[in-house]
Amino acid sequence: MAYPYEHPSETRVLSTHFGEPRARALSFWREHGGYDALKKALEMGPEAVVETVKESGLRGRGGAGFPTGVKWSFMPREKDGPHYLLINADESEPGAFKDRELLRWTPHQMLEGALIGAFAIRAEHVYVYIRGEFFEPAQVVARAVEEIYEAGIAGDDVMGSGHAIDVTVHCGAGAYICGEETALMNSLEGRRGQPRVKPPFPAAVGAFGRPTTINNVETLCAIPHIVTHGGQWYRQWGTEKSPGTKLFNMSGHLERRGNYELPLGFNLKELLYDVCGGIPNGRSLKAVIPGGSSVPILSADEIDIPMHYEGVIEAGSMLGTASVIVMDDATDIIKQVRRIVDFYAHESCGQCTPCREGTTWVAKIMWRIEHGRGTMADLDTLVELSRNMIGTTICVLSDSAAAPVLSSLEKFRDDYLARIPKTRLPAPGPAEGAGAPAALAAGDPAGAPAHAAVEA
Amino acid sequence: MAEGAVTCTIDGLEVSVPAGTRIIDAADAVGIGIARYCYHPALSAPAMCRMCLVEVEGAPKLQPACITAVADGQVVRTEGDAARVAREGVLEFYLANHPLDCPVCDKSGECSLQDYVHREGRKRGRSVEPKRVLGQDFFGGKFGGIIYDGDRCIMCTRCTRFMREIPQDDLLCVVQRGNRSVIDTFFEEGLDESAWAHNIIDICPVGALLAHDFHHKARVWDLDRAPSVCSGCSQGCNVHVDVRDNVIQRLRPRENPEVNSYWMCDYGRYDYEWLNRAPTTVGGDLAETPAADGGRGGAGRLDAPLVRGAGGALEETGWREAILALVERLRAHAGGGGLLLVSPFQSSEDAGLAARLAGALGIAEMVYRCARAGEEIPCRGVPGLARRRDLAPNPRGLEMLGFERTGDDRGAGGIASTGGALIVLGDDLADLPADFDPGADLFVYLGRRLTPAARRADFALPVTTFAEQDGTFANHEGRLQRFWPALQPPARARPAWQALGVVLAGLEDGAAPASAADAFLRLGEWHAPFRGLSYEDLGTRGALANASVRVTPDGAEVR
């Protein structure tokens, strides 16, 4: 059954049972071969499982695209204490809605992958960290966990193998930053959800100070299939560097929005116009964000590209979570960018100065420009502030906020220019709420030429 | 090159440091002060202020110097374009919402934000946006408490990490997120229960945490600073005494890894009012009356030598006349025995000369009285640091000189009349009544205040407090620590070692010590614990007295 739309180009591996409520039940899942892969993995042994995943070339689906097998192989082989597997189900990237569907429809698919992963990295405990707002998925997963405990699939003796693997479902409190792996660990431990400094990396010092691997939901969902069919089987789709299938989350101005599972490397233009039915209401395309709100924007003439990790990077953006946000020609790009930056300003954890101060400052400037009160100098300031926010912080949230600003300034500069008043505006004075010290600090005395960059 | 050492190059200077040293510490070792807010050598490093980003050759991005360890052959540049631009950018971010109210900020003049912005910030900021306003909060705390200014706060979290890691009393945390983050306490009582909380004011790099006690009291550039030792207890925390117009405005801890690390307790920090001759609080309740200062000599100082005249009344006289008359009386008294009472607030030099005088007079009984707190208040994160039970700086020094404790835990009582001579130094006898009968042929009082009992003295000579003279205290573990004069004494008050030295010279026909350093050398001739030590040996961080018992962090005693 297709959900919500289907298309002949699709290659359904993970999303086969989307839209089928009965697929949530363990009985249904086992009838369809569920947990056979776990059984096979338990017989193969951890090393062989890791090798198989390495061979498949599966890359992390959470955005960074790090090879999963390699990540697993970083875990220490000799145990001197507990290891943990964390499942990052804190899907909060604006535009992304793939993990939510995987959790809702096929919880056992993920849990099977997680148990295989835990076995491979010698972890005795799996934590499913679910985004706070995901009430329904959390309930579905919690029910599924109960079922596998009752069936002896999780617990002290996993499928009679003698291995003990526990599964705990943990709900976040609704902070975007807790989707960052180390912030997730802090949050799981009951601390403030703030990213940690790396190194040490999680494979050495992770959750509760122990070696930890953290995987995305979609990544783990692919594992049972890879273990069942072998690494080479997975490589029938995609490219050498980006093998396999991927859920594409299509949103925005499209005829048929939704999740589509396609081989990596699928052409973006074809994806928009063929799979999703193009732009509705006879409008034309203006811009595409190919990988969730944190990646650079592509303009309409940049979309004839293959959607795999390296292809999108070549086009100047990133595949990220493959959350494609499509905007038609009626879209106010400035407003969209301002809303994205507002989101990051709201979600910045506040540790690093460039992010804490930079995101709000950029948001304020964007707000002024959006409302016709920007100056030419603001555009230069935006560029400089954004550059100061890239690569200067612990995690990449501030880079994410800067990317849409810089890319939109580059590709849609005319939109910005059109919004900036032709006549000179006085700098906002006390009437706008900026006190005298602010005006002094601003170094932008009323009457200074509006075009001149206020470089001291 | 020592074993385990690595050599790297920082801004062209070669540095050899132990492996594992952080770049920021290695740079400090060669005098390159890398800018920092969140980093403090005694606290964990979260690497979140992003000020210490430096260029490390071979690294793709700028590296935070506070958590990056040096590596052999590493080339670090702190002044390269990338690092400089990053710092300038970060500083501009800091100022985007900072109120820039330096003219009314107590931290102004010792503020890292001010310093770094003036050093390498943009000449003019570009922010024209309305500033975020978070307002002020009051955190509570002892001695007037601590004020928090959220607008000035730069979220370095030194204060929260201090509370968690040093007193291990997790009373502060960051609440809210992002640009709305503020530091806050959990409960209504705030920091009231902590005896160490005021240290967060010192480590705050900006004016976000302010002492109510020092609020709007002085501009820091008007302060004169003298290194000294806290007199609050026998821990002997090293302090800076900050003085304006001969009035102490505040005490701040002075780093000494052997004694107090970077910290001091709140009791000691606010135990300074008694050293001021004039009350400093307008309409306040401190030191208004002589009795309110604990009787240690604040207001109402004895300001001239007094000698009991032929008519039986105390008469003001000059030092020369007083000394000559005293020497004559003491000569007649030689070998007559008696009692020597010295306050543990006197320096070892003062007490040593008093003990020498006692020997010359045949006084065998040498005692001191010292108030004692009910219990120690340890600083959990710093082994060996505590507010000690003895609430005076030098009881250990007096014991090394042969004095014995007397009196009760309030520092009162214990004075029995013994006949002979009664010599009192520093202890103002505030617990004794006006009709106190010294029971002695001769009563010599060297002190700062003429209490009713002191009025019974035959000689009352004005001496200085420790803050007005050079000297040393021996802390609880026998560490001899120097202090330097911070205040001008009353015109005719003299250090006790000087007054007693002259008296002794008169008695023994010798030379009086010319300086406190000289007096200290004489202690070394007379007493084994001081043997072979000089002021040069003590330096600013002190030295252990010979054969003194040192208590290691795990509680063992080491001879």
User: Chain A 342-361, CB below 8 Å of chain B: which residues?
Assistant: 345-354, 356-361
Residue A451 confidence class, pLDDT cut points 50, 70, 90:
very low
Average pLDDT over residues A346-375: 95
- Write the residue in A385, A394, A454 that is nearest to B124 by C-beta: A454
Half-sphere exposure of A378 (CA within 13 A, CB side): 27
The secondary structure of A378-404, three-state, reads: HHHHHHHHHHHCCCCCCCCHHHHHHHH
Which of B104, B122, B126 is most worth mutating to test chain A (most A CB atoms within 10 A of its CB)? Answer: B126
Q: What is the mean pLDDT of chain A?
A: 91
Q: Is A440 on the interface with B (CB under 8 A)?
A: yes
Structure tokens at A96: 């992304």
Pair type for strands A212-216 and A84-89:
parallel
Burial A43-74 (b: 16+ CB within 10 A, else e): ebebeebbbbbbbbbbbbbbbebebbbebbbe
Which of A178, A338, A351, A390 is most worth mutating to test chain B (most B CB atoms within 10 A of its CB)? Answer: A351
Pair type for strands B442-447 and B459-462:
parallel
Q: How distant is the alpha carbon of residue B218 from its chain centre?
A: 19
Q: How many beta-carbon pairs under 8 angstroms link A with B?
A: 136
pLDDT tens, position by position, B353-385 = 999 999 999 998 999 999 999 999 999 999 999
Average pLDDT over residues A343-368: 96
Residues of A in contact with B95 (CB under 8 A): 441
Give the pLDDT score at B292: 39
Q: How distant is the alpha carbon of residue A125 from its chain centre?
A: 24
Instruction: Please state, as a whole number, how many other Cβ atoms lie within 10 Å of the Cβ of residue B312.
Output: 6
Structure tokens at B124: 């003019």
Residues of B in contact with A365 (CB under 8 A): 129
Among chain A residues, CA nearest to B181: A350
Pair type for strands B5-10 and B75-77:
parallel
Residues of A in contact with B94 (CB under 8 A): 353, 357
Chain B nearest-CA distance from A97, in A, is 25
Residues of B in contact with A359 (CB under 8 A): 178-179
Chain B nearest-CA distance from A438, in A, is 6
Whether residue A266 contacts residue A312, with contact meaning beta carbons closer than 8 Å, is answered with no
| Interface contact A377-B177, CB threshold 8 A | no
User: Chain A 191-220, CB below 8 Å of chain B: which residues?
Assistant: 192, 197
Structure tokens at B143: 């001695």
Chain A nearest-CA distance from B196, in A, is 24
DSSP state of A165: B
Chain B nearest-CA distance from A350, in A, is 4
Whether residue A143 contacts residue A135, with contact meaning beta carbons closer than 8 Å, is answered with no
Give the pLDDT score at A428: 59
Chain B nearest-CA distance from A236, in A, is 35
Which of B54, B128, B134, B180 is most worth mutating to test chain A (most A CB atoms within 10 A of its CB)? Answer: B128
Give the pLDDT score at A429: 54
With 60 as the cut, is the pLDDT of residue A455 above it? Answer: no
pLDDT tens, position by position, A263-275 = 999 999 999 999 9
| Interface contact B89-A192, CB threshold 8 A | no
How far apart are the C-alpha atoms of A3 and A425, rounded to whole Å? 52
Q: What is the pTM of this model?
A: 0.89
Give the pLDDT score at B470: 96
Give the pLDDT score at A423: 60
- DSSP percent split of chain A into helix, strand, coil, nearest 5: 45, 15, 40
Among chain B residues, CA nearest to A352: B48
- Write the residue in A357, A440, A444 that is nearest to B93 by C-beta: A357
A445 versus A14: which is more confidently predicted?
A14
Give the pLDDT score at A434: 41
pLDDT tens, position by position, A205-237 = 999 999 999 999 999 999 999 999 999 999 999
Residues of A in contact with B100 (CB under 8 A): 437, 440-441
Judging by beta carbons within 10 Å of its beta carbon (0-12, 13-18, 19+), is residue B333 exposed, middle or buried?
A: buried
Residues of B in contact with A384 (CB under 8 A): 89
Give the pLDDT score at A412: 96
- Write the residue in B48, B127, B174 that is nearest to A361 by C-beta: B127
B551 versus A325: which is more confidently predicted?
A325
How far apart are the C-alpha atoms of B219 and B424, rounded to whole Å? 40
* Residue A326 CB partners (closer than 8 Å, separation 6+): A250, A251, A252, A253, A254, A272, A276, A279, A285, A287, A288
In the predicted model, residues of chain B with pLDDT beneath 70 are: 1-3, 278-299, 547-559
Among chain B residues, CA nearest to A453: B126
Whether residue B452 contacts residue B198, with contact meaning beta carbons closer than 8 Å, is answered with no
Residue A281 confidence class, pLDDT cut points 50, 70, 90:
very high
How far apart are the C-alpha atoms of A176 and A132, rounded to whole Å? 10
Among chain A residues, CA nearest to B68: A199
| Interface contact B124-A347, CB threshold 8 A | no
Residues of A in contact with B89 (CB under 8 A): 354, 384-385, 387-388, 392
CA-based torsion, B220, B223, B229, B233: positive or negative:
negative
Which of A366, A392, A394, A440 is most worth mutating to test chain B (most B CB atoms within 10 A of its CB)? Answer: A392
Among chain A residues, CA nearest to B182: A350
Among chain B residues, CA nearest to A192: B174
- Where do runs of H (alpha helix) occur along B139-231? 158-165, 199-203
Structure tokens at B537: 């040996």
B contact set with A (CB within 8 A) = 46-51, 53, 61-62, 64, 67, 85-86, 89-90, 92-97, 99-101, 122-132, 154-155, 173-174, 176-181
The residue among A247, A222, A250, A248 whose CA lies nearest residue A235 is A222
pLDDT tens, position by position, A111-169 = 999 999 999 999 999 999 999 999 999 999 999 999 999 999 999 999 999 999 999 99
Among chain B residues, CA nearest to A175: B177
Pair type for strands A125-130 and A84-89:
parallel
Residues of A in contact with B132 (CB under 8 A): 360
Q: Is A437 on the interface with B (CB under 8 A)?
A: yes
- The DSSP H or E segment spanning A129 is strand A125-130
| Interface contact A353-B99, CB threshold 8 A | no
For residue B148, the SS3 value is strand
User: Chain A 272-331, CB below 8 Å of chain B: which residues?
Assistant: none
Give the pLDDT score at B278: 57
Which of B90, B129, B160 is most worth mutating to test chain A (most A CB atoms within 10 A of its CB)? Answer: B129
Whether residue B487 contacts residue B246, with contact meaning beta carbons closer than 8 Å, is answered with yes
How far apart are the C-alpha atoms of B532 and B546, rounded to whole Å? 9
Give the pLDDT score at A111: 97
Give the pLDDT score at B186: 87
